[in-house]
Structure 1
Amino acid sequence: MPRENSISDDGRSLTPDLPEVDDTVPQTLDPTRTETPFIAVTKPSGIQTVASAPDGISTRPPVRPTFDGAAQSDPLNRFRASVQKVIRLHRSTSILDNRTDIGAEPGVDPRRETAFLAYGHLRQNCLIEMVDYSAVRSSFGRMSNKTFINMLQHEDASKREPWVKVRWINIGGISWDVMSALAIKYSLHPLALEDVLHQRGHARSKADYYNNHLFLRVLCHALAQDTDVSSDTVDPDVEIPRSFSPEPMDDTDENGVHAEGSEKDDEKTVYGTASVKRLSGLRKDKKPYGRKVNDPEAQNGSFTRLMHRGSTARVKRVQQEKTIDELKKGERVNVKISPMHIFLLRDGTVISIHPTPTLDYTAPITNRLRTRDGMLRTTADPSMLVESLLDLVVDSALQVVDEYHNKILKLEHDILLHPKMKTVRYLHILSGDLILHKRTLEPIKTVIYGLRRYDLDRCAALVDSTSNEGPTKVQGYMSHKAKIYLADVHDHMEHILTSLDMFSSISENLISFTFNMISNDMNQVMRRLTLATIIFLPLTLLTGYFGMNFDNMWSVHNNSDLFFWEIAIPSLIVVTAMFMWRDIVGAVHYIKKRWLVKQEIKLKN
């Protein structure tokens, strides 16, 4: 049966089954044309046959149509027109989804066709590492998307050996074919899969408990170079709808150019990107042509204008964020923030997912597993592996804190030596980054504390109280030994958060100190100017008096300039002593203290 899209008109299928596509001819662009066109197809053996559009479904294997020759140009144009129509319908569907995402059903079910339509554009060459280990043996292997999916599909290939106690699947990169196959194989919860597929920027770290597994999302903070820092500057408080739809297809997708990692072999799997036959929608619609009120294309005009305004605002915001990032470069501590998703299953399987196709971040854990007498190997406890991943996140955050400490010391030295506005600018940037990191690291402490304190209680809350099977033994995901080591990780997080608070306070105090110093210097300058004005005010008065052009002036005609200085010098001394008395007393007190210190040093020697 064809798979139907709930948004299409009257349940018309946008993605028919493969046999129907091969036996169905594309419709022409002219709605008045009712004759059935013919297309020429070529079988792999090279024998050319002519296939019409029968009423039934053909039993022959599907073949890819090939068009060569001038006589076949008309079917080729009709085929291209049909593909363009499907692309326009896909755009309209995406626009409708973007408008009606509020109130949509939460979670991602990989078995539904709507999930593929929404997330099938996520294609990436993932780096997948699978480690099976116990106290006595271990095995390491790396796979590509296709190899990993084939392994999950075959029960014998994915079955664990009897000696395996823990299986760690470490995935670098997010691709729909891998995520969907993984979710179906291990029955991952739709809400957890949705959190993995949605890129919400600086989303909060959290721990979700489900019946089949424990799900953790932890933000990793690591030092990076200028070129490695992610441009994602999404506010962590901004909530994105949990059923957010992907962006409409662009001209690159329309021309058939796919992103890196879309190999043909991966597209042929049931979890990969569907082929042209599957998505072409080349069914002969027996219903008359015409647009209805609920036709997506009929509403495309208003929706396009609405989406254009929203996209323009997003473009402006992104440009402003990039400008701010460029202005902040220099004395900034470059920190790369990326989420790591962890699944802990009851059967001892641990799945870790990273957004980038690299596994350098978890390389220390892999090296520890290669050591036979290490704690991870001797315990063979999956919860200890999860604890090690959390400890790795905290250790990376400690490196970030140490770098901020060095930066604070350097800026404090510059401020105390000679305050400058350039240093204040660096402190302002540093203070903002510290506030951001504190808000992204604070939930990690809550997650660790919850795993230690409420693991058993949250597992007990998952037990169905209405079940008639009798009392069941509740068992948490974290072992007793893992909780002991989590206490040490929790202490490190306490140190990180208190250090960030201290650095933030120091940066604010240094900024205040700088402005206070500048204000104090300004006050000193104004004080000196005031003293100079007051001191020379009597001289100015006397100069103005003796400079008068009076005819009968005794002080000028009967005396020399000595009389002027006999009046000016005593006045200058009296005024200076009056207004600088406190400074004179302070200078005398300072000289006296210095003399006493020198006398005490001489007595000790």
Structure 2
Amino acid sequence: MMSGRHHHHSKSRDVEEDPISPLSRMDTAEGSTRRQVRLSIDDGPPRAPGDSDSEASSTGSSRRRAFKRRGKRMTASRSYQNPTKVIGAEPGISATQEVDVELYTRCEITLVDYGHEDMITTELINETLPEFLARPRPKWATVRWINVNGLSWDVIKCLGQYKGLHRLAIEDIMNTHGRSKTDWYSDHALIVLTVQKLVHLDPSEQEHRNKRRNWYQKALNVQEAVDSDDESIPVVKGHTDSGQVQSVQTLQRYHGGPNYERILFMERNSSLASAGLAVAVDQCSIFLCDDNTVISFFENSADDIELPIMDRLASTNTLLRSSCDGSMIVQAIIDAVVDLCFPVIHAYQDTIGDLELSVLTDTSLRDTQRLYILTSELALLKNTIAPLTGIINALRDHKRDPSASKRKDNSIGQLTSVGISSITHTYLGDVQDHTIVLLDTVETMKRSADNLTDYIFNTVGNLQNENMRQLTVVTIFFLPLTFLTGYFGMNFTKFSGIENSDAFFWYLAVPIAISTIFLLMNGPLFRLLTKMFRRRQIRRVRAIRERQERRDRPRLKVHAARRLTFGFKQSSDKGARQPNGDPHVLVEHPTGSSSAAANEPQDDGSDRITIEP
């Protein structure tokens, strides 16, 4: 455990791994940790030794047999059941009781105590956290922020006992696929949201996968087959711009479900995979307590959120530091989560721009597969970003009333003592604006992808119709010729019309071919003539309008030619001033005057501005 005072915070996440505890179990595959959760299931109270053999307990025996039959009927759904959720169990997980839960990982814990004058940052791990929390909090520390990177039951239990967290809230932390929401309890509030960020895929992992493929898989561009019964799923490794390579949970895996084949197919054919990018998704849980204590849990994205906030806290000139408000820490975390979404949206905008150029320049049905995958990913992005608006609205609805502490009434609105400050309420509005911009951008891209799909099918359909029309014209043209050729090609004993020349054939072929074309194509020809006459009528009307405009244009110019004179007229002419001594403000001279001197402006040295159209 290290503690110190500083003004600029910088740290590294290199923590030495300790041996695995015998009370916990970890399954390590290719350097990654798979967290497993085991809940003890009670089979019920023990039965008396003679219950099953007694004749008097036939009702109980038939009831047990009914439960056995019912259990056999329920076995079909066991493969789709969440292993961490026991059907009919007590809701929630309490931090004060012993629960057989195997969820352990080495957590990286950062504890920050700060006030107006000073700030202390402490690096902790799983074993040193209880000892540090047993110490009293400094009196000068207005806000305490505990940031946990990783989910481990011993850390969750320790912090749950430290702040008396609700059992339902603890269950929401451990369920990493829950919905984004805000729950309010008596002395703390829980905010659950999803963090999504843009990561670069590890190129060495992709090269390793390509080497494992067979020659026919490389020739046909077929990915390596994966069996869904295999417990080991290929791990995706990636890193952010300033982070280290680690295992990530992609957008497809977070929303994929139990079908592993589809998950792997969608990952390998993702819209961002060709650029070596992916979207990593994990859960963030934030507790806001009534004593200005904030506890945040991240699966593995704490560095992306914590480092910029720590830089702001290190300076006393920032609003986050000078406010000394725990709800502002919550606002900063949500704002950072929203800001991480913008690179993701920009990457998809670049991808859909390339797809649009490909479709408009070379329309092909192969692009429909890419557009379908892009549309499905955009739908997942929208479902992940949309709940942020509800979270922000729920927080803004619980604005702290400064005069609430002075009142002693127990109204319904004052049952909860936790809320956000006025300044947090203001700045959450800016975060909400960013969220709305993200949603509008995703919706626009989704509509563009749907329009491109419709454009592809419409273009391909029109090309097929054009080809069929050309084939129809050729068929109709050669139909009478083919008939006459077949007729004249018969074996005649005597045919005087073609003994000397083939002119007789053309005398018959030309009128018959023209008649057949007019007979079979009367509809298209009639529509063509109708269109020609309509266009001719439109051209005539347009020509009449243009001639009328040319005839009326000189008359309009004559009526508009006026000269307006503004200012003082210093001359000896009578009427230069009005009888009351006021100067003339406006003198208008018609252009049609017969006097040339009246039409032309004269330079008499007066302050006069002349405007002529």
1:134-179: CA deviation from partner (whole Å, max 9, x where unpaired): 2332222322222223212x32xxx222321111111100111111
Question: Does residue 560 in structure 1 map to residue 501 in structure 2?
Answer: yes
CA distance 1:540–1:100, change in 2 (3 Å): closer
Q: Which secondary structure does the structure 2 equivalent of 1:142 belong to?
A: strand
Matching of residue 150 in structure 1 with residue 92 in structure 2: no
Conserved in 1, the CA contact under 8 Å of 2:107 and 2:149? yes
Mapping for residues 409-428 of structure 1, pairs under 5 Å: 409-428=353-372
Conserved? CA contact 1:127–1:143, under 8 Å: yes
Partner of residue 325, structure 2: 381
Residue in structure 2 matched with residue 523 of structure 1 by the alignment? 465
Aligned-partner Cα distance in 2 for 1:410–1:577: 47
**Contact 1:401/1:500, CA 8 A, preserved across alignment:** yes
Alignment of 1:276-315 (within 5 A): none
Aligned pair partner of 2:168 in 191, 197, 201: 191
CA distance in 2, matches of 1:551, 1:148: 114
Q: CA deviation at 1:473?
A: 8.7
Measured at CA, do residues 161 and 400 of structure 1 come closer, stay the same or move farther in structure 2, by a change above 3 Å? same
Give deviations 1:30-87, integer Å, cap 9, x for gaps.
xxxxxxxxxxxxxxxxxxxxxxxxxxxxxxxxxxxxxxxxxxxxxxxxxxxxxxxxxx
The change in CA–CA distance for 1:212 and 1:471 in structure 2 (over 3 A counts) is: closer
Question: 1:470 & 1:107 partners in 2: Cα distance?
Answer: 25
> Are the aligned partners of 2:270 and 2:373 in contact in 1 as well (CA < 8 Å)?
yes
* TM-score (norm: length of structure 2): 0.60
Inter-partner Cα distance in structure 2 for 1:590 and 1:410: 39
224-233 or 494-503: bigger deviation: 224-233
Paired-residue identity, %: 32
Partner residue of 2:453 out of 502, 505, 511 = 511
1:498 partner letter: D
Structure 2 CA distance for aligned equivalents of residues 473 and 538 of structure 1: 93
Within the alignment, does 1:210 sit opposite 2:185 as a pair? yes
TM-superposed CA distance for 1:371, in Å, is 2.3
Give 1:127 deviation, angstroms: 0.9
1: CA distance, partners of 2:83 / 2:474? 72
Q: Distance in 2 between matches of 1:416 and 1:99?
A: 49
SS where residue 200 of structure 2 aligns? Answer: coil
SS at match of 1:102: coil
Deviation per CA, 1:99-132: give whole Å up to 9, x if none: 992221112112212x1x1x2x211111111222
Name the amino acid aligned to 2:187. Answer: N
**Counterpart position of 2:117:** 136
CA distance in 1, matches of 2:262, 2:355: 27
The aligned residue for residue 391 of structure 1 is 335
Mapping of residues 236-315 of structure 1, within 5 Å: none
Tell me the matched-pair count. 416
Query: 2:200 maps to what in 1?
Result: 225
Cα drift, residue 427 of structure 1 = 0.4
Match of 2:552 in 1: none
Shift of 1:545: 2.5
Partner Cα distance (1:7, 1:150) in 2 = 34
1:270 paired residue number:
none
What is the one-letter code of the residue matched to 1:447? Answer: I
Instruction: Choose from 86, 92, 110 the match for 2:95.
Output: 110
**Pair 372,577 (structure 1): closer, same or farther in 2 beyond 3 Å:** farther
1:126–1:357 contact (8 Å) kept in structure 2: no
Distance 1:357 1:519 in 2: 48
- Please name the residue that 1:34 is paired with: none
Q: Which has the larger radius of gyration?
A: 2
Partners of 1:168 and 1:350 within 8 A in 2 = yes
Q: CA deviation at 1:210?
A: 0.9
- 2-structure distance, mates of 1:392, 1:520: 48
Distance 1:372 1:388 in 2: 16
Once the two structures are superposed, residues 220-258 of structure 1 have per-residue CA deviations (whole angstroms, 9 ceiling, x without a partner) of: 1211234334157567698xxxxxxxxxxxxxxxxxxxx
**Contact 1:126–1:145, Cα closer than 8 Å, also in 2:** yes
CA distance in 2, matches of 1:373, 1:408: 42
Change (3 A) 1:334 1:124: same
Contact kept? 1:387, 1:482, Cα under 8 Å: yes
| 1:513-545, Cα deviation, whole Å (9 max, x unpaired) | 111111111111111111000011121122122
Structure 1 pair 384–470 and aligned structure 2 pair: CA distance change class (3 A)? closer
Report 1 or 2 for greater relative contact order, CA contacts < 8 Å, sequence distance ≥ 6: 1
What letter matches 2:358 in structure 1?
D
Q: Against the structure 1 CA distance between its residues 236 and 471, is the aligned structure 2 distance closer, same or farther, given a 3 Å change threshold?
A: closer
Q: Which runs of structure 2 are paired with 1:424-439 in the superposition (5 Å)?
A: 424-439=368-383
Residues 109 and 487 of structure 1, relative CA distance in 2, 3 Å threshold: same
> Runs of 5+ in structure 1 lacking a partner?
12-94, 239-313, 601-605
Who is 1:51 aligned against?
none
Residue aligned with 1:334, SS = strand
Q: C-alpha deviations, 1:260-292, integer Å up to 9, x for none?
A: xxxxxxxxxxxxxxxxxxxxxxxxxxxxxxxxx
1:175 corresponds in structure 2 to 152
Task: Spell out the pairing of 1:338-417 with structure 2 (5 A cutoff).
Answer: 338-356=282-300, 358-417=302-361
Change (3 A) 1:358 1:345: closer
Are 1:127 and 1:359, in contact at CA under 8 Å, matched by a contact in 2?
A: no
Structure-1 residue corresponding to 2:50: none
Q: Cα distance, 1:7 vs. partner?
A: 3.9
Moved more, 538-547 or 182-191: 538-547
Q: Give, in angstroms, the shift of residue 555 of structure 1.
A: 1.3
Instruction: Using the TM superposition, give the Cα deviation of residue 438 of structure 1 relative to its aligned residue in structure 2, in angstroms.
Output: 1.4
Cα distance change on mapping 1:515 and 1:561 into 2, 3 Å: same
Q: Residue 180 and residue 410 in structure 1: after superposition, are their counterparts in 2 closer, same or farther (change >3 A)? A: same
Q: Cα–Cα, structure 1 residues 520 and 392, in superposed 2: closer, same or farther, change >3 Å?
A: same
Cα distance, 1:455 vs. partner?
4.9
| Aligned CA distance change for structure 1 residues 562 and 472 (closer, same or farther; 3 Å) | closer
CA RMSD in angstroms comes to: 4.0
Q: Is contact 1:108–1:194 with CA below 8 Å preserved after alignment? A: yes
Provide the secondary structure at the position in 2 that maps to 1:359: helix
Q: CA separation of 1:390/1:482 partners in 2, compared to 1, >3 Å: closer, same or farther?
A: same
1:464/1:146 CA distance change after superposition, 3 Å: farther
Change (3 A) 1:537 1:98: closer
Contact 1:231 1:322 (C-alpha < 8 Å) held by counterparts: no
Alpha-carbon distance, 1:477 to partner: 1.2
